[in-house]
Chain A
């Protein structure tokens, strides 16, 4: 039996759809005005001279500068270094949290999330206090006789990396913890009852089933690290210059809007490249999972 739609009802449905669409307009408008238009403006500005004429000179200038390439390398070193340390520190912590009762885990999670709720500049200040030459950590190191001289822990790459890991770790931990919580406990019991050792369970049950969470966490860390500004600017002490701080200096100190925009576009391209690689990686990961289930 076919039902002939009543034209009046169909018109009503269309009108309602239009109405619901219109509810999104204020939010879409503000995103257009304050996020999309600015990005387009960066693209436009990258082709303008100081006088406002069209040029490709900015690109030639920025891409032929050694500073640009060292900024690119620093950006990658910082991002990949942060990601590697987050995986090393975050995965065991997530495993520990996922292995206790939810009630206890929730309390511990609140402590883990404390830095996430602390203002970034407060945390950066905390690290400055801890890592300085006469700071708490150096005092503990020299006081206990572990090192004779205070170590240079801040205003350099080390300090920047510490600050960035501290920012990214809770963001990484959340999806990994969620994935580990979702693992069916019976799988682990079954493996154990069949005589699997602790290491075998880790390798064949827990790690493959948390891979999705680790992957999501890694995406989040990379996306946030690539353009991170505050931590390198303060804890790097002017010596660590990824693209973000190079953009700031080009804009504020040299007033070179064109070059700053080209550097911004480089950052966009880097983001896009990482996005494409991650999509490809996810497809590969999904294929492997399918293969494993057939095997």
Chain B
């Protein structure tokens, strides 16, 4: 973009120096927890004087953390399994209807993603309290699904816009019903986008914290809720171990999606 100004070296050096600092700022907190998680000390010393796996052992040996991990994985899976089909159907509907109707549906579906999490959380808490459902897996699940639907829609809408609908027309004219057309033609052709949407929905649920903090409790506490509670009380290096594992998993998942989309 700035190749027309090759002689302006000073401006370029200043710009890149600044950019490098901002990028370091962005990556620093994610990277700093990795060496800490392998520290042998229970002080947060940096760099650690001795290394060990004790904080990982602490995590995997703790019944509370393991229960939270289990809850989070179950919730993430259920969220993806519910949100992605709902989003796919809604995207087909928006794509085929077009115009104002589609725009109206889209703006309703995107509402949860622009509503402050704290409002969704306390509102959901009131609704669930009235039904005596606070602390149940169901309560957190509906909260996560409603956040994952817009995320999945953002992935699936452009994919459907590129889709060649003549194939469905052909199948329909040969006697396939809609269920068959969706299951036999749309789903297989969109499989990469559907996989991305599934992973994104899963990550959305895994990372969601505000609704969990208000609505989940006891055995149904999620990982973020437990991390939030322990961050408020003390800074235990066990959280460094969890953070490192978590980031590693997310990086692997994101790389998988990125590489798949490229191929």
Contact = CB atoms under 8 A, between A and B. Distances in A.
Given A24-B93, A26-B89, A230-B209, A96 B119 contact: no
Given A35-B115, A134-B44, A41 B32 contact: no
Contact of B1 (A24, A35, A98): A98
Question: Interface extent on B, as a size class?
Answer: 35 or more
Contacts of B227: 121-122, 125
B125 to A, nearest CB: 7
B146 A30 contact: yes
Contact of A30 (B28, B145, B251): B145
The listed residue with most B CB atoms (<10 A of its CB), out of A21, A38, A185, A244, is A38
B105 A24 contact: yes
The listed residue with most B CB atoms (<10 A of its CB), out of A112, A122, A127, is A122
Interface in B1-41: 1-5, 8, 11, 15-16, 18-19, 22-23, 25-33, 36
Interface residues of A, number: 90
Contact of B97 (A17, A37, A264): A17
B30 A93 contact: no
Interface string B87-105: 1011011101100010001
A26 B86 contact: yes
A35 B146 contact: yes
B116 A20 contact: no
Interface string A175-201: 000001001010011011100001001
Contacts of A208: none
A271 interface: yes
Contact of B90 (A24, A126, A268): A24
The listed residue with most A CB atoms (<10 A of its CB), out of B15, B28, B111, B118, is B118
A166 B2 contact: no
A192 B5 contact: yes
B232 interface: yes
A156 B163 CA distance: 51
Contact of B126 (A19, A41, A125, A247): A41
Main secondary structure of the interface of A (DSSP, over half): helix
B15 A95 contact: yes
Contacts of A118: 29-30, 246-247, 250
A198 B82 CA distance: 53
A33 B142 contact: yes
A267 B33 contact: no
Nearest to A122: B243
Contacts of B4: 188-189, 191-193, 201
Contacts of B210: 229-230
5 contacts: A23-B92, A93-B22, A95-B15, A125-B33, A129-B46
Interface of A: 17, 19-24, 26-28, 30-31, 33-42, 45, 89-90, 92-93, 95-99, 108, 110-112, 114-115, 117-130, 132, 134-136, 139, 166, 169-170, 180, 183, 185, 188-189, 191-193, 198, 201, 206, 223, 226-230, 233-234, 244, 247-248, 251, 257, 260-261, 264, 267-268, 271
